[in-house]
């Protein structure tokens, strides 16, 4: 199995063309040695769906992650309130809405809100809201990400937490892997552990995307591939 890893970088809107050109140059330079593909993580925000659709049609992406970031200024201005449990409920409602737009292949770090409302994070109290969100997402066929970088955040566990992963599995929601690697040395960080967690939660396959089409790989094959490559040093 070829390894499909992502390296996230943040960019301004006016850097979009530069980013696409950089990926193409890198693809050409490493052709036959490293499989370089064009992807994007894009924020979902109510009322800007047509703008986002136009942006995503501006390049031939292989993979598009959709995100709801509760820490950004726009989210806080529109949705934040004193009752942070209600903020959590709003987050999961927006997560479902993002899937229903049909704009994204997978939803990134889908319980990110816990790290920005950590003093009030009691998932058992909002599991009904989470289940309702997952019911809506499951209908769309959109995948969801298991993001290993959660281990480095306020609540030290991957995103999403295991009980949410189990609920996803019950609804047959596909899962992609991401390390949120803002630094090169974190590319594929924690993937073996993530695959083991997926197995414990009932998954036997993990997904990746090429030309916006989902491909599934047996977790057993993915683990063998990762271990084989790590043995090479």
Q: What does the H/E/C string look like for 91-116? A: HHHHHHHHHHCCCCCEECCCCHHHHC
Q: What is the per-residue pLDDT across 132-177, written as a single tens digit (0 to 9) for each?
A: 999 999 999 999 999 998 888 899 999 999 999 999 999 999 999 9
Instruction: Give, as one character, the DSSP assignment of residue 41.
Output: E
- Global confidence as pTM: 0.90
Measured between alpha carbons, how far is residue 64 from residues 40, 41, 68, 162, 213 in Å?
Answer: 5, 6, 13, 24, 11
Overall CATH class of domain 13-231: alpha beta
The larger pLDDT score, comparing residue 132 to residue 232, is at 132
SS3 8: coil
Going by their DSSP bridges, the two strands 39-43 and 205-210 should be labelled as unpaired
End-to-end alpha carbon distance in the chain: 18
| Per-residue pLDDT band at 195 (split at 50, 70, 90) | very high
Domains in the chain: boundaries = 13-231
Q: What is the per-residue pLDDT across 40-80, written as a single tens digit (0 to 9) for each?
A: 999 999 999 999 999 999 999 999 999 999 999 999 999 99
Q: What is residue 229's predicted lDDT score, i.e. its pLDDT?
A: 53
SS3 147: strand
């Amino acid at each position: 199995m070829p390894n499909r890893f992502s390296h996230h970088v943040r960019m301004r809107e006016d850097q979009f063309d530069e980013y696409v050109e950089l990926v193409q140059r890198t693809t050409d330079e490493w052709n036959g040695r490293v499989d370089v593909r064009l992807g994007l993580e894009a924020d979902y925000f109510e009322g800007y769906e047509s703008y986002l659709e136009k942006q995503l049609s501006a390049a031939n992406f292989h993979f598009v992650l959709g995100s709801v970031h509760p820490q950004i200024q726009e989210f806080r201005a529109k949705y934040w309130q004193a009752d942070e449990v209600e903020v959590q409920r709003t987050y999961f409602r927006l997560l479902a809405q993002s899937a229903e737009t049909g704009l994204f292949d997978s939803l990134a770090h889908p319980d990110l809100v816990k790290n920005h409302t950590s003093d009030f994070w009691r998932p058992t109290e909002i599991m009904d809201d989470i289940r309702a969100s997952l019911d809506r997402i499951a209908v769309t066929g959109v995948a969801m990400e298991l993001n290993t970088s959660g281990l480095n955040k306020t609540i030290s566990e991957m995103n999403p937490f295991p009980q949410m992963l189990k609920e996803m599995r019950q609804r047959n929601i596909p899962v992609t892997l991401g390390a949120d690697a803002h630094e090169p040395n974190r590319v594929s960080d924690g993937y073996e552990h993530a695959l083991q967690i997926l197995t414990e939660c009932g998954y036997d396959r993990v997904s990746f995307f090429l030309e916006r089409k989902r491909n599934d790989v047996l977790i057993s094959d993915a683990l063998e591939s990762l271990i084989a490559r790590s043995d090479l040093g």
